[in-house]
Amino acid sequence: GSGIITIDPGFKNTGSCESAITYLDGEKGILRYRGYAIEDLAEKSTFLEVIYLLIFGELPTQEQLKKFKADIDDEAIVDQDMKKIIDGFPKYAHPMGVLSSLTSALIAFNPSSVEVNSEEAMYKAIVKLLAKFPVLVAWTYHKRTGLPMDYGDANLGYVENIAKMMFSKPNREYKPNPVVIAALEKLLILHADHEQNCSTSTVRIVGSSHAGLYASISAGISALWGPLHGGANQAVLEMLEAIKADGGDTKKYMAKAKDKDDPFRLMGFGHRVYKNFDPRAKIIKVAADEVLGELGVQDPILDIAKGLEKEALEDPYFVDRKLYPNVDFYSGIIYRALGIPVEMFTVMFALGRLPGWIAQWREMRLRNEPIGRPRQVYIGENHRDYKDLESR
């Protein structure tokens, strides 16, 4: 109708949907998946259980979990022709660009996953994606390492299998390192969903045109890539490296971050919703100490990060704007200790966020949400007569 249109840049005050999946309270720093506290899930659950919880709404029974894993294992093969697409990329291609392309290419190899007009068809498309995405992540990684692009082992757990595909060496028997697996389970759980963030809103709006699950996820990967969003975990490490190269001069970078004329921001700090500590950052910070300790890794970058955090938490500019470390501030330090290269950090974020994107896409489709099509306030030219080329 001709109702009043109010502009809300970045949708800071706009609710795009009703959802029963994730609850977060920015003031109190609370995050819950389907009512369960993130602290409990990170401590006691596996990533596969959290995947099931987010998508289907309940923690799975042992029977349900067994069947879910079996259904996924049945689909954990990716058509070898997908490698022709990977071969087409230069070695230095950013893994997020490769991954979003491969996810979109999955459509061609799984055409039945596009039109999902039954819960059965939806389940099949979801299980296929949960099975094939980790393979695509591993193959994307091995585009850079030069290691073979092969498959996992269905006898392993979901996360153990991902670690095997990423880290195993072709000439050595793969033995999962429990410290690495526990850290990955926790990190992937902590990244799994976060209500209507930029990439999830992207997945919902692409899905609202019924473009299909894989096209929606591919779009979500592109949105997550940005340094203001998931790309921040890569930007944090690059910033910490720069500070280290600069003799650990955190004061210089704090000054840059506060200088309005300088586009530099303190990466890993601030959040649209959390105006308190990001509960995920708290857990990851503790995990970083544990993992580096157990792996015997001494990383000066961690000390620089802690120094930077301490300074920012005492600096009026950050305190007044309620800028606290967010999920991306410490996660990269753990990924680095696990031997994951910085270009792959945001891919690890996408791997964790996949179930959240799927759950939100499924909820949007089951609720028959309308196609996303916002309005605008026109501020351009009034009507004007056409001018021929000669007279311009």
Catalytic residues: 271, 328
Q: Does 271 bind ligand SDX (CB under 6 A)?
A: yes
Q: Does 266 bind ligand SDX (CB under 6 A)?
A: yes
Closest residue to ligand SDX using C-beta atoms? 270
Q: Does 332 bind ligand SDX (CB under 6 A)?
A: no
How far apart, in whole angstroms, are the C-alpha atoms of residue 185 and residue 46? 6
State the residue for tokens 């290419």. 105
Mutual orientation of helices 327-337 and 345-366 as an angle, nearest 10°?
130
Sheet containing 30-33: order of strands = 22-25, 30-33, 36-37
Instruction: Quote the distance between the C-alpha of residue 265 and its chain's center.
Output: 20
Q: How far is the CB of 312 from ligand SDX (least distance, A)?
A: 9
Q: Of 321 and 367, which CB lies nearer to ligand SDX in the complex structure? A: 321
Binding segment for ligand SDX (CB under 6 A), chosen from 53-61, 105-113, 121-129, 270-278, is 270-278
Rounded to 5 degrees, what angle do the CA atoms 314, 317, 323 make? Answer: 75
Q: Of 314 and 385, which CB lies nearer to ligand SDX in the complex structure? A: 314
Binding segment for ligand SDX (CB under 6 A), chosen from 85-93, 98-106, 213-221, 224-232, is 224-232
Q: Does 204 bind ligand SDX (CB under 6 A)?
A: no
97, with CB counted inside 10 A (0-12, 13-18, 19+), is middle
The 156-195 site mask, x for binding ligand SDX (CB under 6 A), equals: --------------------------------------x-
How far apart, in whole angstroms, are the C-alpha atoms of residue 120 and residue 71? 13
Q: Of 197 and 218, which CB lies nearer to ligand SDX in the complex structure? A: 197
State the residue for tokens 């393979």. 135
> In terms of C-beta distances under 8 Å and separation of at least 24 residues, what long-range contacts does 149-156 make, across chains too?
149/83, 149/86, 151/76, 151/77, 151/78, 152/76, 154/73, 154/76
Q: Does 242 bind ligand SDX (CB under 6 A)?
A: no
Q: Does 321 bind ligand SDX (CB under 6 A)?
A: yes
Q: How far is the CB of 239 from ligand SDX (least distance, A)?
A: 10
Q: Of 32 and 272, which CB lies nearer to ligand SDX in the complex structure? A: 272
Q: How far is the CB of 280 from ligand SDX (least distance, A)?
A: 7
Q: Of 124 and 256, which CB lies nearer to ligand SDX in the complex structure? A: 256
Q: Of 269 and 345, which CB lies nearer to ligand SDX in the complex structure? A: 269
Q: Does 252 bind ligand SDX (CB under 6 A)?
A: no
Out of 269, 335, 357, 361, point to the residue binding ligand SDX (CB under 6 A): 269
How far apart, in whole angstroms, are the C-alpha atoms of residue 275 and residue 86? 41
Q: How far is the CB of 219 from ligand SDX (least distance, A)?
A: 15
136-160 as b/e, with b when 16 or more CB fall inside 10 Å? bbbbbbbbbeebebeebeeebbbbb
Binding segment for ligand SDX (CB under 6 A), chosen from 29-37, 61-69, 138-146, 264-272, is 264-272
Q: Does 270 bind ligand SDX (CB under 6 A)?
A: yes
Which residues does 332 contact at the CB level (< 8 Å), separation at least 6? Answer: 233, 234, 236, 237, 240, 342, 345
Q: Does 197 bind ligand SDX (CB under 6 A)?
A: yes
How far apart, in whole angstroms, are the C-alpha atoms of residue 348 and residue 345? 5
Sites of contact with ligand SDX (CB under 6 A): 10, 194, 197, 228-230, 232, 257, 265-273, 321, 323, 326-328
